[in-house]
Every structure is written in C-alpha cells, then in structure tokens.
Amino acid sequence: MNFGRGWVFLVPLLVFVITGMILSCGGGGGSASATPGPPGPSILDITICEGAAPLPTPFPTTGTPTPTVLPTLCTVVPTPSIPQGCLLQLHAVAELNNGTNSENGSTIDVTNSSSANWTSSDSSALLPTTIQGNQGLYMGVTVTSPGENPPEAVVSIPGLSSLPVAVMVSTPLPSGTPCPSVVLIPPTPVVTPSP
C-alpha cells in the first residue's frame, strides 16, 4: 500500500479536527469560561405601587413565627397626585421566576433594596427622597400645569427598570392643613435577585 502524498493532506486535517474538539470541550489551558449565575430565583418584572410597602406579618411555622413580607403585584397604577410641598409614598414589588415558569413565580418587596434606584424624569418637579433609609418617597416641588406632561417616577435595579408612573403635583394645601402621612418602616436588609 502506497500512501505517498495523501499523508501530507491527512495529517494537517486530523490536527485541525482534534484541536477544534479540544477547544470546544473547554480544553486549551488558560481559556476563560463563563461563570454561572447565582442559584435561586431571578427578577422578571418590577411594578410600582401606590402607598407604603406591606408591613411584615407573622407567618406561622413550626416553632416561633418569623416576620415575612408577602406582597402582591398591583395590576393598575392610577396617576397618583401629591400636593406641592408634600410627600408621596410608593413601593416596588418584583415578580420572581422561581425556575419553573413565570405563572408559578412569587413576589418580593424591593422598595428599600440596596440595589434599588428611585429616580424622576424631572427632579425639579418631583424629587426622589429617602428618609431614615426608607425609599420610594417623592416630594412634590412644582405644580403640574393642565395639559403638561407630568413628571414620572421610576425604580430600577441593575439590568431592569419598572414602567414609569406619571405623578401629578397639585396646588399646595391650605395653610394649617397637614400633608398626607407616610409610613416609615425601619429598613431591613433586602436581598434582590438579579434580573
């Protein structure tokens, strides 16, 4: 059997195929590989809701009840209104994908999460404010004129933002009339899953 010049073409072809297989299987020594994301749920969506975040409620378990927050998503957010010089309270609820499908997911409150960033489309009219570690508070600074687009509140975490919520700033309350009260909850550390 005379292989002659056939080896000249066959050897480089075999070296090329074997090298490709090694590299595709993660070989190759110092090549970088992707780091898998952290285990657990991920955030699918963030919704801004009017009012204070739900208060922690005891959740019965075997043994001592543990304070747990079990918020629900608000489906429709009306255009809230705040008198000039007063505070509006909003909270944010994140819908989680627990690894099965989005219909079987759960929700968590992310209002005071360290990764939550509350902003305004016009901070000269609607100013995001934090009081005693409580986020989701906005001060009405400039009255929204009729026909004018109202400023919008948005909350975001790295990689995901809520839909904007338009906020009307109305005329100041009459002298001696108190502003609507806000509920300040001592903040607890909130772990926010990645989007």
Q: What is the pLDDT of residue 88?
A: 95
Work out the end-to-end distance of the chain between its first and last CA atoms, rounded to an integer number of angstroms: 63
- H-helix segments, the chain: 6-24
Total-model pTM: 0.67
More confident residue, 144 or 59: 144
Q: What is the pLDDT of residue 4?
A: 58
One-letter identity of residue 49: C
Model confidence at 137: pLDDT above 80:
yes
- Which of 52-56, 98-102, 156-160 has the least mean pLDDT? 98-102
